Amino acid sequence: MFKRRPLTIAEIANHLPGPPWQLHFEENHRRHPWSLKFADKKSAIAEAKLKLDLHFAGREAELRASMSRPDRAACSTFAELLPIVNSLTITAGPKARGGYLWGARYVLRLALGAELETLSLAVLTADTGKKFFARATTECAKIAGQTEQNKFARNVAGAWSACCALFSPAAVSSMHDLGLTVPASVADFRRAGKVKQWSAPAAEYSPPLPGVLRATFRAWLELGRTPGYSVIGGAGNSRRKTEPAPLNEIARRNMFIAAALMLACGLRKSEVTQIRWRHFTLDELGNPRLIAKNVKVKNHSGKISVRPLDPFWRLMHRVIDRNGWAGQPDDLVLTARARAPQALGGLRYVVGGHCDATYWPFYHIGKWLRSLGWNLQKTNHALRDCACSYVTMKWGLERAKLFARHKHLATTESHYGRFVREEIMDNPRALNWLNWAKI
């Protein structure tokens, strides 16, 4: 049988040649695939014909000699692997695959003092894994201060995990399908991490004080009612990245609505970009509810169903109505300008397009929050954390788990309580301003 696996989306999008064709033959009722080493069909057919001619001519010795693999012991190189990482048949997306390569670079640079492109896959042995952890231990001992040591330990653990993911059984199998030779010692390499476990407490980030939060909520309302509102980098990715610049109306609109949905509904960035106007609905009791089906979410349920928080929900709709920002039911709430080519001197660029809705709102929110005193690692996600923390303080952890749409209570408790403060929980009237949204 003459076949190959279907092209992946990455191969089609990037015009990659795809996997080599394979010749499948049977022996003792077992099927054996044989790579013909050519991705184009014409060359692969010619190679297959040579094998078949030898078989039908009864020249089995010559056939077996032509199918021997004297170079099988010679491993492929990382230089051969890098161009096909996006073609591997694994579930990881492009961003995750980039992280895998970062991990491999980090591990092999520390273990062997060499760059990825100069190495053979033959270096993936248990000995290399042991060298990595031994040198990591030595480097960690040189760092003064436990905080910096913990940061280094987290990098070590993250890099090792990412590197091992690049050489998971599924990824290695796909590499073989694509014609690469990966050493069997890769399994020993991956097991080397179990000999030396690195762990460090999660990084501690100080959430904004209540005064900063109040100022942020006021600034959010100011954003909604002020055309030309200025934020750092507001005019786009300009060279003056530290100076405030006015937002265009699409950017102001999208930034306001995106921040509102994170605060009112605890949405993630990827979820905000999928919300349509028809998703703003009512539940069976007549209360406002955000219900979105057939969407991509982290828990793979394909659904978002959350009761919003007031005053954020009420104020968001007030600003939307006042500015006439609402669209048709099937329109996405974050809109985008049509792509338009621009020129400035010798520089040519494009404004508008999907980045108006998928990139710039969150870029601007990050710059805006940092300018207001938010020093957290993930500024956009901190708005979701803030909303969940408020629900925890007023209605308890169980209700916050439902609001955040988590499967396990421990997830909410461990990762969505940075804004919880004792003095607020101890004062029954401190959160009288926070309620579930009503008509």
Check whether residue 217 and residue 345 sit in a common domain.
Answer: yes
pLDDT at 42: 75
- Measured CA to CA, the distance from residue 278 to residue 281 in angstroms comes to 7
In a domain, 202, yes or no: no
pLDDT at 416: 82
- Measured CA to CA, the distance from residue 207 to residue 393 in angstroms comes to 15
Residue 20 reports pLDDT greater than 90: no
DSSP string across 94-113:
HHHHHHHHHHHHHHHHHHHS
Each residue's pLDDT tens digit, 32-78: 666 666 666 777 777 777 777 777 777 777 666 666 554 444 788 99
SS3 (DSSP) at 162 = helix
Residue 435 reports pLDDT greater than 50: yes
Q: What single-letter DSSP state applies at residue 77?
A: B
- pLDDT-wise least confident of 95-109, 182-196, 237-251, 269-283: 237-251
In a domain, 428, yes or no: no
**pLDDT band of 224, cuts 50, 70, 90:** very high
Instruction: Mark which of 362, 377, 392 sits at the end of a domain.
Output: 377
pLDDT at 149: 85
Each residue's pLDDT tens digit, 297-356: 888 888 999 999 999 999 999 999 999 999 999 999 999 888 888 777 777 777 778 888
Which residues fall within 8 angstroms of residue 145, CB to CB, at 6 or more apart? Answer: none
- Measured CA to CA, the distance from residue 381 to residue 371 in angstroms comes to 16
CA distances for 241 relative to 226, 231, 320, angstroms: 21, 10, 29
CA distances for 357 relative to 93, 128, 172, 252, angstroms: 20, 45, 37, 11
- Measured CA to CA, the distance from residue 109 to residue 155 in angstroms comes to 13
- Measured CA to CA, the distance from residue 174 to residue 401 in angstroms comes to 38
In a domain, 178, yes or no: yes
Check whether residue 224 and residue 301 sit in a common domain.
Answer: yes
Residue closest to 393 by CA, chosen among 366, 423, 355, 369: 423
In a domain, 237, yes or no: yes
How are the residues of the chain apportioned to helix, strand and coil, as percentages rounded to the nearest 5? 50, 10, 40
Contact assessment for residue 257 and residue 316, using Cβ atoms and an 8 Å cutoff: yes
Return the residue matching tokens 């693999």.
Answer: 69
Check whether residue 220 and residue 287 sit in a common domain.
Answer: yes
Check whether residue 372 and residue 236 sit in a common domain.
Answer: yes
Each residue's pLDDT tens digit, 240-271: 667 788 888 998 999 999 999 999 999 999 99
In a domain, 398, yes or no: no
Report the CATH number that the domain containing residue 261 is assigned in CATH.
1.10.443
Contact assessment for residue 81 and residue 66, using Cβ atoms and an 8 Å cutoff: no
Task: Over range 378-404, report the average pLDDT.
Answer: 91
Check whether residue 335 and residue 243 sit in a common domain.
Answer: yes
pLDDT at 49: 78
Check whether residue 264 and residue 363 sit in a common domain.
Answer: yes
Q: Which residue has the higher pLDDT, 37 or 185?
A: 185
Residue closest to 288 by CA, chosen among 257, 263, 317, 330: 317
Q: Where are the alpha helices (DSSP H) in 113-247?
A: 126-141, 146-166, 169-177, 186-191, 210-225
Check whether residue 242 and residue 271 sit in a common domain.
Answer: yes
Check whether residue 85 and residue 115 sit in a common domain.
Answer: yes
pLDDT at 71: 43
Instruction: Mark which of 12, 46, 66 sits at the end of a domain.
Output: 66
Average pLDDT, the chain: 84
- Measured CA to CA, the distance from residue 354 to residue 380 in angstroms comes to 19
In a domain, 62, yes or no: yes
pLDDT at 388: 93
- Measured CA to CA, the distance from residue 7 to residue 16 in angstroms comes to 9
**pLDDT band of 13, cuts 50, 70, 90:** very low
Residue 235 reports pLDDT greater than 70: no
Residue 10 reports pLDDT greater than 70: no
> Which domain does 25 fall in, by range?
2-66
Check whether residue 142 and residue 257 sit in a common domain.
Answer: no
Check whether residue 281 and residue 308 sit in a common domain.
Answer: yes
**How many folded domains does the chain comprise?**
3
209-212-214-220 Cα dihedral, nearest 10 degrees: -140
pLDDT at 202: 61
**272 token code pair:** 């905000």
- pLDDT-wise least confident of 23-32, 356-365, 397-406: 23-32
SS (H, E, C) 310-328: ECHHHHHHHHHHHHCCCCC
- Measured CA to CA, the distance from residue 162 to residue 50 in angstroms comes to 42
**Which burial class, exposed, middle or buried, applies to 348 when counting CB atoms under 10 A from its CB (0-12, 13-18, 19+)?**
exposed
In a domain, 406, yes or no: no
Give the CA radius of gyration of the chain. Answer: 28
Instruction: Mark which of 164, 194, 224 sits at the end of a domain.
Output: 194
Task: Over range 152-166, report the average pLDDT.
Answer: 91
In a domain, 231, yes or no: yes
Residue 423 reports pLDDT greater than 50: yes
Each residue's pLDDT tens digit, 194-203: 655 666 666 5
Task: Over range 173-177, report the average pLDDT.
Answer: 90
Check whether residue 351 and residue 282 sit in a common domain.
Answer: yes
pLDDT at 70: 46
Task: Over range 122-128, report the average pLDDT.
Answer: 92
Check whether residue 91 and residue 134 sit in a common domain.
Answer: yes
Residue 219 reports pLDDT greater than 50: yes
- Measured CA to CA, the distance from residue 115 to residue 99 in angstroms comes to 16
pLDDT at 426: 87
